[in-house]
Structure 1
Amino acid sequence: MAFDVSIEINKSFSVAADADLVFKLLADVPESTSHFPKLENLVKEGENVYRWEMEKVGAGSASIQTIYACEYASDPSTRDISWKPAKTSDSNGKVAGTWKITEGANGGTDIEFATQATLTLPLPKLTRAMITPVVKSEFETIVDKYITNLGVVFKD
């Protein structure tokens, strides 16, 4: 009755902030995710492991909530941050990705963001063709808003 939707997003952007400051914010998972739209709850499950609970989409018994956990690693010497799926009892998604942070021109910072997600939707397989593009579009819209929110933070 359920089906998977796979999503891959790659974004590159620059901000007018010091690379070390950018790394510090993005490596601090609770702080950086405080700028992530539609995140209902972030739960620390262990050392560098966080469970993401997104806002419910839909209404009543037809609502869906995406939940997944990630284990994070960061390297200050390269300014790379990565995450991979971690087990959590109520997960319906697996998400992995990276932030690559490099010094840009004029004291700014160049940032590369990449993420891959697989979300299991508890819907009839007959709805796959209709629902998959909507889910992918919503995921990309949320990531774009997150990047916009971070850009505002780094202007301060």
Structure 2
Amino acid sequence: MQVSARTDYALKATAELAYASVRESGPVKGEAIAETQKIPKKFMENILLDLKRSGIVRAQRGASGGYWLARPAQEITLAEIIRAVEGPLADVRGEWPELVEYTGAAERLREVWIAVRANLRAVLENVTLADLVEGELPEAVTNLTSSPEAWIHH
């Protein structure tokens, strides 16, 4: 899986908003998020707009305005954020894996793509913004990262 800059930035931005909600510091300016997380400001604005459209964040204009999470951080999964800015977690040439047809020696490839999607979901649908901010990832995730093999680039 290739994680785009858009996805990476959206996750970092929402983590900042989750952190602000824990501190109860009120709305956070998009510029502040961009500066803290080293995200280009224009790119940040577009991402925040997508997150607002999807109902993940709320916004208020004006001097005391900014962005905040629309729901508690423990209710927002990483999968939801990724879908808001990129679409489906896993597709094959822009199609749902279950709709792709293979024949001959490649016939079972569709099942492989379904399994890949299921594994992405198993992680991304079970990690919330609260998990990130609190530094406590679910045990299933920490079990995966505790394997030395997980850290080796192939």
Q: What TM-score does the superposition give when structure 2 sets the normalisation length?
A: 0.30
**More helix, by proportion:** 2
Q: Which has the higher strand share?
A: 1
State the structure with bigger RCO (CA 8 A, min sep 6), 1 or 2.
Answer: 1
Tell which structure's C-alpha radius of gyration is larger.
2
